[in-house]
Amino acid sequence: MHLISSSRDTTRLQSIMRITRAISTVHDLHRLITLLASETSKVLNVERSTVFLYNRKTDELWSYVAEGESNEIRFSADQGIAGSVFRTEKTMILHDVSVDERFNKEIDNTTGFITRNMITAPIINPSDHCIGVFQVINKEGGNFRDDDAEFLEIVAAEAAITIENVRLLESRKRMFDSLIKALVISIEARDPLTAGHSFDVTFLAGKIAEYLKLDQDTSEAIYYAALLHDYGKIAVPDSILKKPGAISKEEFSILRKHVLHTRIILSPIEFEERLEKVPVFASQHHERIDGQGYPDGLKGNQISIGGRIIAVADVFEALTAKRHYREPFSHGKTLNILVEGIDTQFDRNAVLALRQYFIDIGKIKQEEVPLPEKAGNAF
Ligand SMILES: [Fe+2]
């Protein structure tokens, strides 16, 4: 480790600090690696930087970020300088690529770019596997130096840690998501006629959240709450759940309890902090704005935003779906029912958002679902 002895070293150190800060604040992997590439190009004074990642399934390297190149570059992981560095896991400085037979001219021929010199560093993850290469091309005004390669190795190491962290988080999220969906499918398998209900409600609740411009964490909590909102029906006997005709008062009171079961089942799940409202959102989908809903008879804003949105999506989906005892309602008829229920059964903004969504996708015409005078139009 040498001392900071020149302005060049200071610039490089400042650049590493900017990269480190970006890693802790930028959560979009592609944006982050793009930032790493442009920072590297600036500091090393090169024409372009490219990050190739390895695809194990196809045994190829592909350009995850390629400055100045809009098309994806993809080639066998055995090919070219990048392939060689990937296989040997050793950084390579080439002062003149034209004299190196490993250099793959095909890429330059395809892209029209002329490569003169380059450094290629392996991207090695914390478990010591090479997951790609970081390449800088065409040093302006001179040759690459050894300390350029050192700098690139540092950036490649930062990139490796970031890529691994994001991949780990994404795979955890995919596992959690698929587990929740498996739970939903298992409960919905009991009644083929209502199967798919929770997924449709989730889609509609997502649209309402989007139109209301809710933040990402709240939207995600609504997504999981909508998927799981009827999960408590697991505790309702088939004889009630699948009864074709009208149900008795006693049976209805048992059916109503599904929201309490949803809350009881979901509450012990250790959702991450930003999703901690999922059990509350899910178990409030039968509350009404006027306080006549269940299980708690909450009024207006006492009902969570998630509960108010899922209530609207739930009723819309139920009415537009076929039931044992009736044909599906049209979108226009259903939305008119929802608009009539504004401020008594339903949240005004959630209904207006859903109405606007169906207008925007051309499912209904604005005049088919007139707004009550005081409803206004938020969209
Ligand atoms: Fe329900």
CA of 211 to the centre of ligand 1 (A): 23
Each residue's pLDDT tens digit, 302-355 = 999 999 999 999 999 999 998 767 889 999 999 999 999 999 999 999 999 999
- The top-scoring range by mean pLDDT among 6-15, 149-158, 297-306 is 297-306
What percent of the chain has pLDDT above 70? Answer: 97
Q: Would you state the pLDDT for residue 2?
A: 52
Each residue's pLDDT tens digit, 223-238 = 999 999 999 999 999 9
CA of 180 to the centre of ligand 1 (A): 17
Q: Is 99 helix (H, G, I), strand (E, B) or coil?
A: helix
Q: Would you state the pLDDT for residue 378?
A: 56
CA of 225 to the centre of ligand 1 (A): 12
User: Could you give the domains of the chain?
Assistant: 7-167 (3.30.450.40), 189-375 (1.10.3210.10)
Residues assigned a catalytic role: 233
Task: Tell me, rounded to whole angstroms, the distance of Cα 244 from its chain centroid.
Answer: 39
pTM: 0.76
pLDDT above 80 (res 64): yes
> 80-89 — which CB contacts under 8 Å span 24+ positions?
80/104, 80/107, 81/118, 81/120, 81/135, 82/52, 82/120, 82/133, 82/135, 85/120, 85/121, 85/122, 85/133, 86/52, 86/54, 86/61, 86/122, 86/130, 86/132, 86/133, 88/122, 89/122, 89/124, 89/130
Q: Would you state the pLDDT for residue 144?
A: 94
Per the rule left: phi > 0, alpha: psi between -120 and 50, beta: everything else, 68 is: left
CA of 309 to the centre of ligand 1 (A): 13
Each residue's pLDDT tens digit, 261-300 = 999 999 999 999 999 999 999 999 999 999 999 999 999 9
Q: Would you state the pLDDT for residue 5?
A: 58
Average pLDDT over residues 154-169: 90
CA of 215 to the centre of ligand 1 (A): 25
Give residue for tokens 């596997």.
129
- Residue 131, phi then psi, degrees to nearest 5: -110, 0
Q: Would you state the pLDDT for residue 129?
A: 94
Q: Would you state the pLDDT for residue 242?
A: 85
Q: Would you state the pLDDT for residue 27?
A: 73
